[in-house]
Amino acid sequence: MSRSAHPAGPRHGDVLPEGHYTAPPADLNALDPRVWARTVERRADGVVAVAGLDVNELAATYGTPAYVLDEDDFRARCRAWREAFGANADVFYAGKAFLSRAVVRWLHEEGLNLDVCSGGELTTALAGGMPAERLALHGNNKSLEEIERAVAAGVGRIVLDSFQEIERVADVTRRLGVRQRVQVRVTVGVEAHTHEFIATAHEDQKFGLALADGTAAEAVRRVLARRDDGLDLVGIHSHIGSQIFDMAGFEVSARRVVGLLDAIRNEHGLELPEIDLGGGLGIAYTPEDDPSEPHEIAKTLGDIVARECDRAGLAPPRLSVEPGRAIVGPTAFTLYRVGTVKPLDGLRTYVSVDGGMSDNIRTALYDAEYSVALANRASQAPPTLIRVVGKHCESGDIVVRNAYLPADVAPGDLLAVPATGAYCRSMASNYNHTPRPPVVAVRGGTGRAIVRRETDEDLLRLDVG
């Protein structure tokens, strides 16, 4: 296939139409370890490989697009989080980031707990073999059926999100004659430095019970009033957002949650044994992102909680965190095949791939930024500014908004977009009746589909005519 260079768009130092100043990387063939899974490398022949299996083999076996997950990297990150927090804390993987029965088994084997927020996630968790007592059920509008299934299964905790939910859970526990551990989710009035759609602790949003106006304190009273019906209040839950790098928000959140614990002790003579500060820890989507390591986060959060409890004269409660994205996000990349290359002189080159917003909605939804690499070969062609776009009938169908690729990128090439392990498959859709891609786990030079590719038959199976 001929790979003649396309007319280059803006070069080093140019200002893009959106006003962003950009510069190409020094080496387009280099794979920055900050954004790629640990076993990903570019081999001597120029082909990208993960755990010894190259992308040409992956594309030939599983097709494209495909999510390619580094199993050893996933397991190593689980261990890093568990070891960082130690025996006196709990790490709950947030299933909404990505969940399958294989992932559940890995979590169980690596000693993590699991947070679910729907009946489907609960079903997957139990089918994958996670002990129910290591599950937590979240959600701002749990159905009665979901509550009944969770209580009957014996989940370790249910996080209560409204006055109505307190009553629903209490009615279920009374009817079933069992006790259920619960936490109250509190909105602490912290504006996390993240996108407004994934900031979750300011008062004007759907999650939790506000601390500032006394709603959270009233929720605690109502839970304690239903103790005889089977509710065991064990702690307070707070979550301030997602993709967070600045730990200052957690400090404010912890201070306010500990203040609530102190008020509960003073009013009810009860010291709650648990505090959950949620998740939301950021990952590197581009080399400019600079996330903290698990041991740094564990020390910071532990010190914050210990300091605030010491000020209040409280024994430090058991700490929980929920690093879903921070575990699975960096472990996977999405493999695409280029179909069309369309240079726009003086602007950029549009590179169309065989997926798009149906397998990664985050760019369109959150203005998320991603990196991209030419994966099936190395190239010495000069860099050109590109926009990776999908095949869907939407002008907003963008995968990577602005990046650089070699100017000889051509139809048939394979592109890899790293850091797509979190939320991409979870939020994937059948837009334009597009079957969703498979998730391929690779370990020791061998790949296996842990979630198979959908087919046209799958699409028609639900269409009952």
Angle, vertex CA 387, rays to CA 385 and CA 390, nearest 5 = 160
393 included as an active-site residue: yes
Q: Say which of 78, 117, 309, 393 is annotated catalytic.
A: 393
The residues, ordered by sequence, that sit 6+ positions from 316 with a Cβ below 8 Å of its Cβ are 305, 306, 309
Tell me how far CA of residue 282 lies from CA of 33, 39, 108, 322, 434, in angstroms: 16, 21, 23, 12, 30
Q: What is the DSSP string of 125-178?
A: HHHTT--GGGEEE--SS--HHHHHHHHHHT-SEEEE-SHHHHHHHHHHHHHHT-
Rounded to whole angstroms, the Cα distance separating 368 from 389 reads: 14
217 closest CA partner among 148, 272, 149, 284: 272
Instruction: State the burial class of residue 35 (Cβ atoms within 10 Å of its Cβ: 0-12, 13-18, 19+).
Output: buried
- From residue 463, how far is each of 17, 451, 453, 460 by CA, in Å? 44, 22, 18, 5
Active site residues: 393
